[in-house]
Structure 1
Amino acid sequence: MDDTLREWRRSAFVYGQSDCMLSIGRYLARTGHEDVTGQFVGRYDTAEGAQGQMAAHGGVAGLMALAGAVAKDGEPARGDVVEVLYDGEGETLAIGGICTGDSVAVRLERGMVEIRLKFVRHRGVWHGSR
């Protein structure tokens, strides 16, 4: 997890190359899950394109299932993947993040941010390693 977060901090966010969806996919691959990023790299280059891919594959939950991640009950623990909910243009949207312990790290266009877990609305948590 720490290597992933260092990478997020020092590399550019590029839709279809190193965006939030692909970043979570690469993290899962590093932790023993199926690497499904190859079927998404280069297929879109905008936020709308990324959202379209997510929608076509069942959102965060569908992408987690595709990678073989196992959902868990309860609060996230360090290293778990979290589906973070946020409000966007009249609808609730979701983005994947990684629990760092008392926070959740998410990769955004403007860089990586960590949000205290107590302020995060989430609807899904998956074991970060197999």
Structure 2
Amino acid sequence: MDVVDETLREWRTGAFVYGQSDCMLSIGRYLARTGHEDGTGQFLGRYDTAEGAIAMMRTHGGIPGLMAIAGAVPKDGPPVRGDVVEVLYRDDDADVAIGGLCTGDSVALRLERGTVELNLRFVRHAGVWHGSR
């Protein structure tokens, strides 16, 4: 069992709580486990809704800004197991982004309704960062 498996187990068994264990903070904790800076402390308890999480992300430059706080290095090419992926999806008429964790041929997303894995061939992504230092 590696850090990706351990992270997925944590995501699947723990509660999703905005400002405590949401998608943004879950990716931040994963990055800290893999040798990156732990920037999650500055976000803990600072919001408690989806809107608050979105506002916090915007304030800090979206997913690229949050990756910079952790010191994660962007990469070219397709994601590999352990990389962080900025996944794009449509919400009404706008593209929205969420951070995911590449599990190999899929990307795992921690959502309010649980953790889901999507095959990478069906995912649009805007960025990829090395998952380990």
TM (norm. structure 2) is 0.97
1:71 counterpart (49, 71, 74):
74
1:87-98 correspondence to structure 2 within 5 Å: 87-98=90-101
Taking the aligned partners of 2:27 and 2:82, their CA distance within structure 1 comes to 11
**What percentage of residue pairs aligned between the two structures are identical?**
76
In 2, Cα distance between equivalents of 1:37 and 1:109: 19
Q: Tell me how far 1:30 sits from its aligned partner.
A: 0.2
- Aligned-partner residue type, residue 109 of structure 1: E
Among 8, 12, 16, the residue aligned to 1:9: 12
Work out which of the residue numbers 105, 109, 114 in structure 1 matches 2:112. 109
Partner of 1:125: 128
Tell me if 1:27 matches 2:26: no
Is residue 2:40 matched to residue 1:37? yes
Question: Whole-Å Cα distance in 2 between the matches of residues 59 and 88 of structure 1?
Answer: 16
Which residues of structure 1 form unaligned runs of 5+? none
Cα drift, residue 90 of structure 1: 1.7
> Residue 89 of structure 1: CA displacement?
2.5
Please list the CA deviations of residues 11-51 of structure 1 after superposition, one character each: whole Å capped at 9, or x if unmatched: 00000000000000000000000000000000000000000
Distance 1:105 1:74 in 2: 18
State the match for 1:59 in structure 2. Answer: 62
- 2: distance between equivalents of 1:41 and 1:100? 26
Q: Which amino acid aligns with 1:106?
A: L
Runs of 4+ deviating beyond 3 Å: none
Cα distance in structure 1, aligned partners of 2:90 and 2:57: 17
- Secondary structure in structure 1 of the residue aligned to 2:131: coil
- The secondary structure found in structure 1 opposite 2:21 is coil
CA RMSD after TM alignment: 0.4
Q: Number of residues paired by the alignment?
A: 130
